[in-house]
Amino acid sequence: MSSSKRKLLQSIVALAITSGFAAVPAFAQDKPIKVGVTGGPHAQIFEQVKKVAEKDGLKIQIVEFSDYVQPNAALAAGDLDANSYQHKPYLDQQVKDRNYKLVDVAYTVNFPIGIYSKKVKSLKDLKDGARVGIPNDPTNGGRVLLVFQDQGLIKLKPEAGLKATPLDVIENPKKIKFVEVDAAQLPRSLDDLDAAGINTNFALSAGLNPGKDAIAKEGAKSPYVNILVVREQDKSKPWVAKLVKAYHSDEVRNYIQNEFKGSVLAGW
């Protein structure tokens, strides 16, 4: 092969290689990663995460949900790349019940669950037979029951642990009736109940102030710090590290502190 033909062939190969790489841009630049969140603080915080991530070349599309079930189903199905709305006990239960291949990759924020009422100013003022709404998923419902136990209104089976249900109540002097309701619907059900245990994100979305309006709250030391979740197969991908870096930035921490003033706490 002549020298001129060899140089021409090398040029063609080099151009093909360069073009090949150019046709496969980085994940973050090619398409946004889709992150599922629930309405309220999770969505608000992720708007800030999105701004920080874009500075690092990672584009994010926020997908908002109105319940706790669909974000994990959508992530497992590949319709999302990540989600940010749940704590570890809830994820563990979902993985156990539905065999999802999902893992947590970072802590996000903590939402101490609160008890709200339009009829009484204190849990001790609840009348005999009072109807109290609790989330209908095992982990969040258990959180509310543990608050009632801590306040001395009920006693739970010792082995019930974090996933206590109304069936685990063994002492209930006031004969309180615990009504299981979808977590997102509890603020709207408050008029029909004597009290309700409401997750902070849904309370804030409904105009309730956890610092002023809650008549009782979960203790500060809680196992329910929220988490960022991805599929097992994705956990080591570069975009995941970028997403965690953006969430754990000083900009996002400062936003949480200034915006929520203690109602939502940075969990990292």
Same domain membership, residue 78 and residue 101:
yes
Asked if residue 128 is part of any domain, the answer here is yes
How confident is the prediction along the chain (268 residues), in pLDDT tens digits per residue?
A: 555 544 544 554 444 444 443 333 444 447 999 999 999 999 999 999 999 999 999 999 999 999 999 999 999 999 999 999 999 989 999 999 999 999 999 999 988 899 999 999 999 999 999 999 999 988 899 999 999 999 999 999 999 988 899 999 999 999 999 999 999 999 999 999 999 999 988 998 899 988 889 999 987 667 889 999 999 999 999 999 999 999 999 999 999 999 988 788 899 9
Same domain membership, residue 145 and residue 131:
yes
- The whole-number pLDDT of residue 134 equals 98
Is the distance from CB of 36 to CB of 80 less than 8 angstroms? yes
- The whole-number pLDDT of residue 179 equals 98
The structure tokens listed for 140 are: 């969040």
Same domain membership, residue 70 and residue 85:
yes
Same domain membership, residue 209 and residue 118:
yes
Same domain membership, residue 133 and residue 168:
yes
Tell me how far apart the alpha carbons of residues 68 and 48 are, in angstroms, rounded to a whole number: 22
Tell me how far apart the alpha carbons of residues 263 and 257 are, in angstroms, rounded to a whole number: 9
CA distances in angstroms from 99 to 79, 90, 92, 146, listed in the order given: 17, 13, 10, 27
- Cβ neighbors of 25 (< 8 A, separation 6 or more) are none
Q: If we measure between CA atoms, which residue out of 95, 93, 104 comes closest to residue 136?
A: 93
Same domain membership, residue 169 and residue 39:
no
Same domain membership, residue 124 and residue 81:
no
Same domain membership, residue 198 and residue 139:
yes
CA distances in angstroms from 143 to 26, 78, 219, 237, listed in the order given: 42, 30, 10, 34
CA distances in angstroms from 266 to 111, 182, 259, 262, listed in the order given: 9, 26, 12, 9
Same domain membership, residue 96 and residue 150:
no
Asked if residue 10 is part of any domain, the answer here is no
Asked if residue 101 is part of any domain, the answer here is yes
Q: Which domain holds residue 257?
A: 28-111+224-266
Assign residue 180 the CATH number of its domain: 3.40.190.10
Same domain membership, residue 82 and residue 47:
yes
- The whole-number pLDDT of residue 12 equals 44
Same domain membership, residue 61 and residue 35:
yes
* Tally of domains in the chain: 2
Same domain membership, residue 121 and residue 75:
no
Asked if residue 19 is part of any domain, the answer here is no
- The whole-number pLDDT of residue 28 equals 40
Asked if residue 192 is part of any domain, the answer here is yes
Asked if residue 88 is part of any domain, the answer here is yes
**pTM over the 0.85 mark:** no
